[in-house]
Structure 1
Amino acid sequence: MLIARWQIDARFGHKQEVIDRLQAWAREIAPQAGLVTGRLLTGSIGALEATVVHDWEVNDLGELDRAWGRLASIPAHTQWSKDLEPFVVSGTARWEIYRVL
């Protein structure tokens, strides 16, 4: 099992908006891509307070690759990305993959 971690930094004063939009994405879009088990985290101590993290459980890299492929074909995901852009720091989005022991 792997944890696919997507993180992004919210612009100052917009962290709650980013959280709300990520929660909506998890409810409405993620299931269409096959992403089912996830959790949302934010920076607290020793991490940037503006950082918002979404962890997703996947069985292997193939499952993650299929989910990414599906996302590209979901029009609501494309629109969601455009709508999120004003609230995040450009260039901070990234994926990290962790192996569960």
Structure 2
Amino acid sequence: MTELNNQCDVLIIGAGPSGASAAYWLSKYGVSVVVLEKKTFPREKTCGDGLTPRSVFQLEAMGMGDFLETTHRYDGLRAVALKKEMELSWPDHPDLPSYGYVVTRF
């Protein structure tokens, strides 16, 4: 186990989307942050590659828009079950984009 400096303003447990985003925004505003994660990254996770419009909004606010544009953009959802298929557009929201992205974790 790596020995860590025991001085920080905020300790975040978990480096998933919420923990990583919290660490980004806190550090951007000068807060000393340490993030602890028990898993090794990158890792595969079911449905972990699909980014919804709300996720895209946050990542674009974090300056990652140019990177996202290099990945696969999609404009809605497709559900397939029991030999039936349904396609849905993302709901309209005045503050969010109308698209998502697929970004592999590897």
- What TM-score does the superposition give when structure 2 sets the normalisation length? 0.22
Larger radius of gyration: 2
Larger RCO, structure (CA 8 Å, separation 6 or more): 1
Between Structure 1 and Structure 2, the one with more helix by share is: 1
Q: Structure 1 length normalisation: TM-score?
A: 0.23
